[in-house]
């Protein structure tokens, strides 16, 4: 069987540059703002690319419409993002050309109100999935993100100290200990094994 290259169509960018995307994902890169303008902990939707670097984007597993969680933003402009279980480091040059839009915060608040269970509510041996963060968790949200506790991340509660502090979990093969206050900031849902 012979490999066939996917058909791409050209879009004229408002600044005169042409932009290519697969037919099923044609998105105008002039929407949104550059990925370099985000902050750690923010969730954004990838809208497009301002330059002709689409193939680099697709090779990294990203495509327009994907939701990204920002894990870390370096002073140099490079950005560490996660998409589901995947983590990617995006250099400053490419990050400047990736156009994103912030996800609607009211949708995140709706999700938060629907899911009233925090990590503190799970017992030893329970498996869960991170849904979002409480408003109170904002001050240490970056720490939780850097530990791999991104929305969608699955974990197992392995130990709870007698007084409930700390709580030990396993996430992505790593053993983590969370203070009770940190665990209370994670909104989760219990999942079946």
Q: What is the pLDDT of residue 139?
A: 67
Distance CA 165, CA 159 (A): 10
| CA max distance for the chain | 64
If you ran DSSP here, which 8-state letter would residue 159 be given?
Answer: E
pLDDT confidence tier of residue 51, bands split at 50, 70 and 90: low
- Assign domain 8-102 to its CATH architecture: Roll (2.30)
In the predicted structure, residue 170 carries a pLDDT above the cut 80: yes
Indicate the helix (H) or strand (E) that contains 111: helix 105-114
Asked if residues 128 and 58 have their Cβ atoms less than 8 Å apart, the reply is no
CA distances (Å), origin 42, targets 45, 87, 103, 149: 10, 15, 8, 13
pTM of the model: 0.44
Taking the C-alpha atoms of residue 67 and residue 77, their distance in angstroms, rounded to an integer, is 20
Query: Over the stretch 172-187, which tens digit does the pLDDT of each residue have?
Result: 888 989 888 888 888 8
Architecture of domain 105-191: Roll (2.30)
Q: Where are the domains of the chain?
A: 8-102, 105-191
Residue 187 is predicted with a pLDDT of 82
Do the domains at 8-102 and 105-191 have one common CATH topology?
Answer: yes
Least confident of 19-23, 65-69, 132-136, 140-144: 19-23
**Cβ-based neighbour number of residue 43 at 10 Å:** 21
Residue 151, helix vs strand vs coil: coil
Quote the pLDDT of residue 191: 85
Ranges 53-67, 152-166, 171-185: which has the least confidence: 53-67
Q: How far apart are CA 50 and CA 9, in angstroms?
A: 15
């Amino acid at each position: 069987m012979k490999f066939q290259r996917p058909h791409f169509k050209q879009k004229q960018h408002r600044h005169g540059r042409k932009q290519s995307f697969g037919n099923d994902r044609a998105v105008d890169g002039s929407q949104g703002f550059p990925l370099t303008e985000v902050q750690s902990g923010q969730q954004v939707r990838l809208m497009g690319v301002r330059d002709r670097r689409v193939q680099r984007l697709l090779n990294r597993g990203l495509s327009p419409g994907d939701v990204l969680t920002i894990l870390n933003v370096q002073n140099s402009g490079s950005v560490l993002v996660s998409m589901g279980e995947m983590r990617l480091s995006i250099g400053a040059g490419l990050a400047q050309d990736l156009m994103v839009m912030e996800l609607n915060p009211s949708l995140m608040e709706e999700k938060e109100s629907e899911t009233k269970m925090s990590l503190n509510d799970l017992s030893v041996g329970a498996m869960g999935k991170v849904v979002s963060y409480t408003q109170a968790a904002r001050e240490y949200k970056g720490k939780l993100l850097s530990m791999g506790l991104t929305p969608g991340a699955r974990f197992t509660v392995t130990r709870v100290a007698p007084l409930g502090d700390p709580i030990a979990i396993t996430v992505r093969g790593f053993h983590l200990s969370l203070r009770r206050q940190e665990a209370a900031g994670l909104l989760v849902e219990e999942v079946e094994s």
